A and B are shown apart, each in its own frame.
Chain A
Amino acid sequence: MSLFNVFNVSGSALNAETIRLNTTASNLANAESVSGDSSKIYRARHPVFQAMMNTSDAGFGGQDAATGVRVLGVVESQAPPLMRYQPDNPLANKDGYVFTSNVNSIEEMTNMISANRSFATNIEAINTARDLLLKTISMGR
Chain B
Amino acid sequence: MFENIFGIHEQALLLHGQRVGVLATNLANADTPNYKARDIDFSEVLAHNGDAPLPLQITQAAHITFNDGELPAGELKYRNPYQASLDGNTVEMPVEQAAFSENNVRYQASLMFINQTIAALQFAIAGQ
- Do B75 and A132 touch (CB < 8 A)? no
Q: In the complex, what's the smallest C-beta–C-beta distance from B60 to chain A, in angstroms? A: 28
CA distance A1 to B21 in the complex (A): 6
B21 and A9 form a contact (CB under 8 A): yes
Within 8 Å CB of B97, what residues of A? 121
Cα–Cα distance between A60 and B70 once the two chains are bound (Å): 11
Which of B13, B28, B33, B73 has a CB less than 8 Å from the CB of A122?
Answer: B28
Count CB-based A-B contacts (< 8 Å).
110
Alpha-carbon distance A66/B38, docked complex (angstroms): 9
Query: Complex formed: what's the CA distance from A111 to B101 in Å?
Result: 26
The yes or no answer to A39 lying at the interface (CB within 8 A) is no
Interface contact B21-A6, CB-CB below 8 Å: yes
Q: Is B18 located at the chain interface by the 8 A CB criterion? A: yes
Give the CA-CA distance A129 to B18 in the complex, in Å: 11
B115:A2 contact, CB within 8 angstroms: no
Q: Hey, which chain A residues are within 8 Å of B75, CB to CB?
A: 60-61, 63
Contact B32 A132 (CB under 8 A): no
Which of the 9-residue segments A24-32, A76-84, A133-141 touches chain B? A133-141
Interface assignment of A3: CB less than 8 Å from any CB of chain B? yes
The residue from B20, B93, B111 contacting A135, defined by CB atoms under 8 A apart: B111
A65 in contact with B25 (CB, 8 Å): yes
Chain A 1-28 per-residue mask, 1 if CB under 8 angstroms from chain B, else 0: 1110110011011001100100000000
Point out the residues of chain B lying under 8 angstroms from A114, CB to CB.
31
**Residues in chain A near residue B20, CB distance under 8 A:** 3, 6, 128-129, 132
Note all chain A residues with C-beta closer than 8 A to B21.
Answer: 1-3, 5-6, 9, 65
Q: How far is the CB of A52 from chain B (nearest CB, A)?
A: 9
A contact residues around B31 at 8 Å (CB): 16-17, 20, 49, 69, 114-115, 118
Shortest Cβ-Cβ A-B pairs, 4 listed: A61-B73, A13-B28, A1-B21, A140-B118
